[in-house]
């Protein structure tokens, strides 16, 4: 099938539900606005995951939040996201992806306003959790709508821009949080980091209603409530102890929760198997496609890499090399600029290289990580930000070549009626991977440092992390052999 031009009306194989708002514009401008709205929704989510980090000291000072409340400002956001992504994706399949995107945007905007007005830690944590619930509704609709809307080179460009947005958010999040807090606009201190979402959310809402195409399955069956409850229970029981266990030195209750979570997961899978012909929450037939199965596992490994690397890199830069927080932030900017360059290359490629592009990115990142490990081992305490620029930027460049194409190729052959469920599963994989990677730091990094601020111990531990990172990137490269070798156009 020839690829539709981006300036044509997006194509759908699914039927819109009754009583939906007007459809998208048929102009070139309308198509681009629809894409920008979807990417804007994704950007809001990614920014709010990291923008709070640089504002935590100011938040703690003004609200009197204790260590537990400060920790829940991040956990309270990420846990509802991980729990709700699969259900949010399925709701989009059944009741309309644009509809769920707009509902999620309304809730997210209101929750952001509540965050900005909060005077105590309890309200702030509760509002952050509400933001997480909203994101679980919004984000699966982004990938699902991209999947059912664009084809051919336009699809690859759209997913490439999606990867670029993820990379851009990595740069903007901590920087925006620091700048807005430091600026103290109107004497509001940290509050603008949340209040800025209000006008952005209103723009996404208004333009999304007008320009984003609606899509859903032909027959909207009822939601599998039993499956929804079992999946939520399983994810909470698995993700929560993985996220919190290392902070409490892995008490017995963590392992009890993990074991119970695995039992709940088994019960969920058995329930889904029985429901396969009766509107399951997760169509298990998705996993028969090797490209979706392999791509989702690669996404899980990607999350594991992020969870393991970024926390330990921060400790290495500041404790191991004695950098200030500002100079450590510059190192993250270097990595993210490399990611942005790699994602831009992926977007411009138009899918011509299929799986070869993300595989090349994984190999570049693996080689650069190995070079960084050798440099860290030789330079030790004398390693400077300037000296590490090349391996850091190249590592980011390789990672930037992975994100967009991995999502594109993993979802490429998913039936449109299951696009939301597949998108929810794919997004859940990276969140679960981050939790696993965070837990792995206890074995890979803290087992060496023992929590000590000693510079030598932190340098030695991070060098071990780099070899783990190289191994994970090599595993990602191998898993990408399950992705399509050619695009449809190439396969002709």
* pLDDT for residue 448 is more than 60: yes
Q: Left (φ > 0), alpha (ψ -120 to 50) or beta: where does 11 sit?
A: beta
Is the pTM value of this prediction over 0.75?
A: yes
| Alpha helix (H) residue ranges in 245-287 | 252-274
* Residues in CB range of 223: below 8 A, 6 or more apart: 87, 90, 91, 94, 279, 281
| Alpha helix (H) residue ranges in 152-224 | 152-183, 192-195, 197-211
Three state DSSP letters for 41-62: HHHHHHHHHHCCHHHHHHHHHH
pLDDT at 138: 92
* pLDDT for residue 227 is more than 90: no
Mean pLDDT, rounded, for 420-437: 83
pLDDT in tens, 304-360: 898 888 878 878 888 888 887 677 778 888 888 898 899 888 888 766 778 899 999
Range scoring the smallest mean pLDDT among 103-107, 141-145, 476-480: 141-145
- Distance in angstroms (rounded) separating the CA atoms of residues 465 and 313: 9
Average confidence score pLDDT of the chain: 82
DSSP state of 22: P
Higher pLDDT, 401 or 312: 401
- Distance in angstroms (rounded) separating the CA atoms of residues 489 and 93: 27
pLDDT at 83: 86
Reading the block at residue 166, the tokens are 């993820």
Residue whose pair of structure tokens reads 């990094």 in the numeric block: 445
- 8 Å CB contact between 376 and 461: no
- Distance in angstroms (rounded) separating the CA atoms of residues 467 and 355: 24
* pLDDT for residue 23 is more than 80: no
Distances (CA, A) of 219 to 155, 161, 196, 225, 415: 26, 32, 38, 17, 14
First vs last Cα of the chain: how many Å apart? 9
pLDDT in tens, 110-138: 999 999 999 888 999 999 999 999 999 99
pLDDT at 220: 55
- Distance in angstroms (rounded) separating the CA atoms of residues 373 and 391: 9
Higher pLDDT, 469 or 249: 469
Mean pLDDT, rounded, for 252-276: 91
pLDDT band at 488 (very low <50, low <70, confident <90, very high): low
* pLDDT for residue 379 is more than 60: yes
DSSP state of 204: H
- Distance in angstroms (rounded) separating the CA atoms of residues 308 and 469: 8
pLDDT in tens, 97-106: 899 999 999 9
Range scoring the smallest mean pLDDT among 224-233, 309-318, 463-472: 309-318
* Residues in CB range of 325: below 8 A, 6 or more apart: 318
pLDDT in tens, 46-86: 888 778 876 777 888 888 877 667 777 877 888 888 888 88
pLDDT at 67: 67
């Amino acid at each position: 099938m020839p690829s539709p031009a981006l300036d044509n009306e997006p194509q759908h194989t699914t039927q819109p539900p009754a009583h939906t708002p007007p459809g998208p514009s048929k102009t070139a401008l309308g198509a681009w606005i629809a894409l920008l709205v979807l990417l804007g929704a994704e950007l809001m989510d990614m920014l709010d995951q990291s923008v709070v980090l640089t504002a935590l000291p100011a938040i703690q000072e003004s609200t009197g939040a204790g260590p537990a409340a400060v920790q829940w400002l991040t956990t309270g956001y990420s846990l509802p996201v991980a729990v709700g992504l699969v259900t949010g994706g399925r709701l989009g399949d059944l009741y309309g992806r644009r509809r769920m995107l707009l509902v999620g945007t309304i809730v997210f905007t209101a929750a952001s306003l509540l965050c900005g007005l909060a005077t105590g830690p309890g309200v702030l944590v509760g509002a952050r959790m509400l933001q997480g619930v909203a994101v679980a509704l919004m984000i699966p609709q982004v990938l699902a709508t991209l999947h059912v809307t664009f084809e051919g080179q336009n699809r690859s460009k759209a997913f490439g821009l999606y990867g670029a947005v993820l990379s851009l958010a990595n740069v903007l999040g901590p920087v925006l949080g620091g700048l807005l807090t430091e600026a103290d606009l109107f004497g509001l201190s940290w509050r603008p980091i949340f209040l800025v979402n209000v006008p952005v959310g209103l723009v996404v809402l208004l333009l999304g209603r007008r320009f984003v195409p609606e899509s859903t399955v032909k027959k909207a069956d009822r939601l599998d409530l039993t499956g929804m409850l079992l999946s939520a229970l399983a994810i909470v029981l698995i993700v929560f102890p993985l996220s919190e266990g290392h902070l409490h030195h892995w008490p017995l209750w963590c392992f009890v929760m993990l074991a119970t979570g695995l039992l709940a997961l088994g019960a969920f899978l058995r329930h889904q198997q029985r429901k396969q012909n009766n509107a399951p929450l997760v169509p298990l037939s998705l996993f028969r496609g090797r490209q979706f199965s392999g791509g989702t596992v690669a996404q899980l490994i990607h999350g594991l890499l992020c969870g393991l690397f970024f926390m330990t890199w921060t400790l290495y830069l500041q404790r191991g090399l004695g950098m200030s927080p500002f100079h450590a932030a510059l190192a993250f900017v270097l990595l993210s600029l490399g990611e942005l360059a790699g994602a831009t290359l992926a977007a411009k490629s138009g899918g011509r290289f299929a799986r070869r592009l993300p595989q090349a990115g994984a190999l570049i990142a693996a080689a650069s990580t190995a070079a960084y490990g050798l440099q860290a081992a030789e330079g030790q305490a004398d390693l400077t930000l300037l000296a590490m620029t090349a391996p850091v930027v190249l590592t980011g460049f390789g990672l930037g070549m992975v994100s967009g194409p991995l999502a594109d190729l993993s979802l490429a052959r998913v039936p449109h009626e299951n696009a939301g469920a597949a998108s929810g599963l794919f997004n859940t994989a990276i969140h679960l991977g981050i939790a696993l990677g965070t837990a792995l730091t206890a074995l890979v990094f803290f087992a060496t440092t023992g929590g000590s601020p000693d510079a030598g111990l932190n340098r030695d531990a991070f060098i071990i992390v780099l070899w783990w990172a190289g191994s994970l990137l090599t595993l990602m490269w191998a898993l990408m052999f399950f992705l399509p070798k050619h695009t449809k156009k190439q396969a002709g």
